[in-house]
Amino acid sequence: MPANRPARPATEEPRLTVSRPPRRRLRRALALALPVPVIGLVLLVAGGNLLLPLRQVVTIEAKMASKRDFFQDPEVERLLMKHGFRVHITSMGSREIANQDFEGYDVVFPSGQPAADLISRERAEANRPALLYRPFVSPIVLATYRNYAEALSDHGVAKPQQVPGGRPMYYTLDMTAFVKLTREGRRWNDIGIERQGVHNSNKILAQTSDICESNSAGTYLGLVAFVENKNDAPNDETEAAAVAQEIKPLLVEQGLPGSERAETYLSPDGQSIAPISVIYEHQFLSHQIRHQAQKGGTDDERVLLYPSTRFVTEPQLVALTGDGARLGELVSEDPELQHRAMELGFRARNTNSGTSGNTAGDELIEFLTERHIPVPTTSANDTRAVLPPLPLLEQMIKTVGDCPERKGDVK
Amino acid sequence: MSGRASGLALRLVLCLALVTAVLTACSGDDTDEPVRLRVLASPDLAVLTPLLGELKEATGVDLRLDVRSDAETKAPDRDRYDLAWLSSDRYLRLTAESAVRGLQRTATMTSPVVVGLAPDVARKLRAGVPGGRLTWADIADAAATGTVRFGMADPRHSASGLAALVGVATAAAGTGGTLRPEDVSCDRLRGFRSGQTLTAETGPALVDSYVDHQDRANALITYESDLLALNATDRLDDPLEVVRPEDGMVLADFPLLLLDPSRRAAYDEVTEWLQRDSTQQKIMQRALRRPVSTTVTREQQLREPVGNALYFPDRLTVIEALLADYGDPNRRAADQVVFLLDFSGSMRGDRMTGLREAFADLSGADSTASGKFTRFYRGERLTVLRFGGRVLEEKTVTVTGPKDLKTLADTVARGGYGDATAVWSALDHGYRTAARELAAEPDRSVSLVLMTDGENNAGLTYEEFVRHHKALPAAVRTGVPTYPVHFGEADAGELRRAAAQTGGRMVDAAHSSLSKAFKEIRGCH
């Protein structure tokens, strides 16, 4: 790996100093931007248009997966710009982010802890520790359509969360029973999907993005492993290997994974392409919030299955440079950005409070209620899944996905 | 590092040179130079060429499409191209994983692979199916009888052909899951394939070929967009009816791939433009593909449900087996099956009824999906050899229509039982027939089905048969497998050995039916 600069504490970086010496990590931006002032000066003579090209905004080079939903939101872009940041995103799966080089990037933002751990472990080994920020969290969910949720409900595998005076938007999915359907090779037609006016002879399963590349798929693997291992995460290599072999047939049945899951889920043909997609709660909620705002009602056909065994993912912003650290701090601390995160369906969490109390969750509930969007309930009876330790999870991902070796594996 | 540094220096020099040369060329914001990108494009994308002028106007990025017929099946040359724009990258994801893994990828539009049927054929097929909802099995069945004569792109070269092949093979396997190696160990698409009368290397070439040969085909298997676009022209005698097979389809999402990461800024501009609603609208109108944008109002004909997506195999061995079995659509040699049927006295009664039913089922009476895929088909050559203590009768037909199947049925229905069971003499005779047929047509695929319900008690011993078999010409010895059907009091051990000796596989009918056993064998030869 080529040499990289150690991350500097944010305080060392003066804010937007015009005279700041060019740094290597901005090479690419500079290659484009450097000629601009020159031209600008020339044009000043011709057209007098000096101000625009000289405006100082730090462009953050970032790699991220599903959390680009946040950074690509126009309101978030506006707020960041107010603080002098523009974020240029290269998008790829979380595990893929950890697999590739970070050279030239200020931040990487994998959607969950495992990929972030891979990165910080590697940085620590290279003696270039990185700073981590956790601006918000979001549970892993199974997104589906009303027909399919009702068929699962009729079959006793899902249970609607009743809402007064409306059709349920949320269901609790009995994960053990659901995984059993897949294991038995049951098809949608077998559990009476035809009573819902749909014909589908495909096997019942939840589709994920590429298990070798994405955090949601890896997390779902961990969830299935937990359920199949009698509500326990595998504790050692032997156990992990056995469980991985055990669950592999369940997770590879979907064949070649399709492209971005949430996009597919929300597309008009989504129901035909994948009746159940593994996504994050925020992707669903932001869709409903948007739908409510634009059409005056929620999308009644799209509903969520909350696994009875729950897992909350913690996206981690890994700052690799001083600018990156300032961005990480900003999105974690700034009240406006934190509020906007909630409006985008994230469960915000305040990293300031050492106790990390769950008051932000209450805010989301309030926000949804105000907008007449049903609020998902978490039952105290639900089990909270635990992912296996990182090396074991990695081992299981490789076994199940037949993934190519990571760059760090071969030394 | 030094490469990057010198690249920077070069760019600076270039840009400064540009500044002095043409002042206005470099003005504006970040992407000031006119950018030209070399794009490896599949022929399915050529239809969008007229939009590229607007793209250039809006973004300053000039996409130069190099349309190549092998774009979807050959690893892209990353020195020659900055981007690749394909109808599907699935084949490359399996065959050239290292070349396409981790690339920036943007889906630009979608279209399912479906079947276009001439109106009279569609009417006829729908009439025979409950609710008129056609499946791939119904298409395969109609292809086997010659009712459907279809055009399909060569799956070895085109993503639409491969998607169609995967779709029909997935339906034939009938598991509801993704194809596994064991699902493709038998080629169940022979009947389907016998109906293919037109092919081409690419989707657009296939459409042209169909237009030129409407007398030779009455169906077209390709992207929905191609069918709708063709119907919108006046090139057809009758517009094709779009049939979305009930058991599922494979969807293409026309990805734009970034091959050269250094062209990232321009790529972002292009994908942003392509995903705009105004652009998506134009793509929909011009190419009749489904927009990826969720906010574009779809044209009426694109509001039809797309049909359930089938799981696409993720293992190269599966795709390779499918392609090898499907072979060259331009070179089709007829297949031949020699049925060696035990007509000793013990076959009288229920067993004979079962045998006749099995032949009736293979002749089209079996209405299950698996029956439709494994039935006898037009052009297939079939030999029925009845034996007891000696060969009682041998009859060969090439199926051209119902009358040939009736000839076979009559042969099987005839009485005249032998009083002994000369299993190995009959098999030996079968190999001589196979040798004769192969000598006449070396490309032909020949296999034997040996059905017996008793132990050998006349003629050659097993050892003598093996000696004869070893003396056969190599092409016959290694290329003609025997599939014994174990039934009644037959010696399973010896039959299994004969299967192993000839490269076949024994199928047990003791606990099922002859009909099921024959179905299991069909396609494995």
Q: Write down the pLDDT at residue B333.
A: 73
Q: Each residue of B162-175: pLDDT tens digit?
A: 999 999 999 999 99
Q: Which of A148, A153, A143 is nearest to A208 (CA)?
A: A143
Q: Each residue of B367-425: pLDDT tens digit?
A: 999 999 999 999 999 999 999 999 999 999 999 999 999 999 999 998 788 889 999 99
Q: Write down the pLDDT at residue B32.
A: 56
Are the Cβ atoms of B27 and A2 closer than 8 angstroms?
Answer: no
Taking domain A27-134+316-370, whether its CATH number is 3.40.190.10 is answered by yes
Are the Cβ atoms of B177 and A202 closer than 8 angstroms?
Answer: yes
Query: Given B293, B326, B359, which residue is the final one in a domain?
Result: B326
- The yes-or-no verdict on residue B217 having pLDDT over 80 is yes
A266 touches chain B (CB under 8 A): yes
B409, B463: one domain: yes
Q: Each residue of B228-268: pLDDT tens digit?
A: 999 999 999 889 999 999 989 999 999 999 999 999 999 99
321-380 in chain A: CB under 8 A from chain B? none
- The yes-or-no verdict on residue B139 having pLDDT over 80 is yes
Q: Write down the pLDDT at residue B6.
A: 52
Are the Cβ atoms of A252 and B305 closer than 8 angstroms?
Answer: no
Mean pLDDT of B134-159: 95
Q: Which of B40, B44, B38, B35 is nearest to B283 (CA)?
A: B44
Query: What is the average pLDDT score of chain B?
Result: 90
Q: Each residue of A223-249: pLDDT tens digit?
A: 999 999 999 999 999 999 999 999 999
> Which one of A1, A26, A36 would you mutate to disrupt binding with B, by most B Cβ within 10 Å of its Cβ?
A36
- Return the bridge partners of B255, or none: B107
Which residues in chain A touch residue B30, judged by CB atoms under 8 angstroms apart? 32-33, 36
B378, B272: one domain: no
Which residues in chain A touch residue B305, judged by CB atoms under 8 angstroms apart? 269, 272
Closest partner CB to A200 (pick from B7, B93, B308): B308
Quote the CA–CA distance of B115 and B140 in Å, as a whole number. Answer: 12
Task: Give A15 to chain B, closest Cα distance, Å.
Answer: 22
Closest partner CB to A259 (pick from B97, B107, B175): B107
Which residues in chain B touch residue A39, judged by CB atoms under 8 angstroms apart? 19, 23, 26-27, 32
219-248 in chain A: CB under 8 A from chain B? none
Quote the CA–CA distance of A231 and A141 in Å, as a whole number. Answer: 18
Mean pLDDT of B138-144: 95
B95, B220: one domain: no
> What is the CATH number for B138?
3.40.190.10
Q: Each residue of B43-69: pLDDT tens digit?
A: 999 999 999 999 999 999 999 999 999
Closest partner CB to B308 (pick from A39, A99, A202): A202
> What is the CATH number for B344?
3.40.50.410
- φ/ψ of residue B450, rounded to 5: -110, 110
Greater confidence, A370 or B11? Answer: A370
Question: What 3-state class would DSSP assign to A179?
Answer: helix
A45 touches chain B (CB under 8 A): no
Which residues in chain B touch residue A268, judged by CB atoms under 8 angstroms apart? 290, 294, 298
Q: Write down the pLDDT at residue A407.
A: 60
If you count residue pairs, one on A and one on B, with CB atoms under 8 Å apart, how many are there?
122
Sheet with A317-319: list strands edge to edge: A85-91, A58-64, A107-109, A317-319, A131-133
CB A245 within 8 A of CB A399: yes
Mean pLDDT of B91-119: 92
> Which one of B314, B315, B316, B322 would you mutate to disrupt binding with A, by most A Cβ within 10 Å of its Cβ?
B314
Closest partner CB to A272 (pick from B30, B133, B305): B305
A257 touches chain B (CB under 8 A): yes
Chain B: residue whose CA lies nearest to A256: B314
B120, B261: one domain: no
Are the Cβ atoms of B311 and A200 closer than 8 angstroms?
Answer: no
Mean pLDDT of B343-370: 92
Burial class (CB in 10 A: 0-12, 13-18, 19+), A196: middle
B399, B263: one domain: no
Q: Write down the pLDDT at residue B94.
A: 92
**Count of residues for chain B?**
525
Greater confidence, B130 or A336? Answer: A336
B221, B104: one domain: no
For A316-354, the DSSP string reads -EEE-SHHHHHHHHHHHH-HHHHHHHHHTT-EE--SSST
Torsion sign (Cα): B3, B4, B5, B6: positive
Quote the CA–CA distance of B379 and B401 in Å, as a whole number. Answer: 9
Q: Which of B108, B146, B109 is nearest to B124 (CA)?
A: B146
- Domain extents in chain A: 27-134+316-370, 139-313+377-401
Helix axes B136-145, B119-127, angle to 10 degrees: 110
Number of compact structural domains in chain B: 3
Q: Write down the pLDDT at residue A274.
A: 95
Closest partner CB to A43 (pick from B27, B98, B312): B27
A74 touches chain B (CB under 8 A): no
Chain A: residue whose CA lies nearest to B94: A256
- Return the bridge partners of B252, or none: B111
B171, B269: one domain: no
B517, B400: one domain: yes
Mean pLDDT of B30-39: 77
Closest partner CB to B19 (pick from A38, A202, A266): A38
A11 touches chain B (CB under 8 A): no
Closest partner CB to A272 (pick from B177, B307, B314): B307
Which residues in chain B touch residue A267, judged by CB atoms under 8 angstroms apart? 292, 294
Task: Give B421 to chain A, closest Cα distance, Å.
Answer: 43
B229, B262: one domain: no
Are the Cβ atoms of A202 and B310 closer than 8 angstroms?
Answer: yes
Greater confidence, A361 or B430? Answer: B430
Which residues in chain B touch residue A248, judged by CB atoms under 8 angstroms apart? none
Tens of pLDDT, residue by residue, chain A (411 residues): 344 444 444 334 334 333 344 444 444 444 444 444 444 444 443 443 444 444 589 999 999 999 999 999 999 999 999 999 999 998 889 998 988 888 889 999 999 999 999 999 989 888 888 899 999 999 999 999 999 999 999 999 999 998 777 899 999 999 999 999 999 999 999 999 999 999 999 999 999 999 999 999 999 999 999 999 999 999 999 999 999 999 999 999 999 998 788 999 999 999 999 999 999 999 999 999 999 999 999 999 999 999 999 999 999 999 999 999 999 999 999 999 999 999 999 997 743 333 333 444 678 888 999 999 999 987 666 788 999 999 999 999 999 999 987 665 543
B53, B165: one domain: no
Which residues in chain A touch residue B29, judged by CB atoms under 8 angstroms apart? 36, 52-53
Closest partner CB to A201 (pick from B107, B176, B251): B176
Task: Give A28 to chain B, closest Cα distance, Å.
Answer: 8
B193, B297: one domain: no
Q: Write down the pLDDT at residue A260.
A: 81
For B318-373, the DSSP string reads HHHHHHHHH--TT--PPEEEEEEEE-BGGGTTHHHHHHHHHHHIIIII--SHHHHH
Task: Give B298 to chain A, closest Cα distance, Å.
Answer: 10
Domain span at residue B509?
335-521
Which residues in chain A touch residue B90, judged by CB atoms under 8 angstroms apart? 256
Q: Write down the pLDDT at residue A327.
A: 97
Is A139-313+377-401 the same fold as A27-134+316-370? Answer: yes
Mean pLDDT of B88-93: 94
Closest partner CB to B312 (pick from A99, A256, A268): A256
Greater confidence, B499 or A40? Answer: B499
Q: What superfamily in CATH does domain A139-313+377-401 come from?
A: Periplasmic binding protein-like II (3.40.190.10)
Which residues in chain A touch residue B94, judged by CB atoms under 8 angstroms apart? 256
Are the Cβ atoms of A187 and B246 closer than 8 angstroms?
Answer: no
CB A337 within 8 A of CB A83: no
Closest partner CB to B314 (pick from A31, A187, A256): A256
pLDDT band at B11; cut points 50, 70, 90 = low
pLDDT band at B12; cut points 50, 70, 90 = low
Q: Write down the pLDDT at residue B226.
A: 97
> Which one of A68, A101, A201 would you mutate to disrupt binding with B, by most B Cβ within 10 Å of its Cβ?
A201
CB B254 within 8 A of CB B107: yes
Are the Cβ atoms of A202 and B19 closer than 8 angstroms?
Answer: no
* CB proximity list for B74: less than 8 A, separation 6 or greater: none
Q: Write down the pLDDT at residue B327.
A: 87
B277, B379: one domain: no
Q: Each residue of B295-340: pLDDT tens digit?
A: 899 999 999 999 999 999 999 999 999 999 998 888 777 799 999 9
Quote the CA–CA distance of A263 and A302 in Å, as a whole number. Answer: 13
Q: Write down the pLDDT at residue A157.
A: 97
- Give the distance from CA B347 to its chain's centroid: 39
Question: What 3-state class would DSSP assign to B501?
Answer: helix
A92 touches chain B (CB under 8 A): yes
Are the Cβ atoms of A273 and B309 closer than 8 angstroms?
Answer: yes
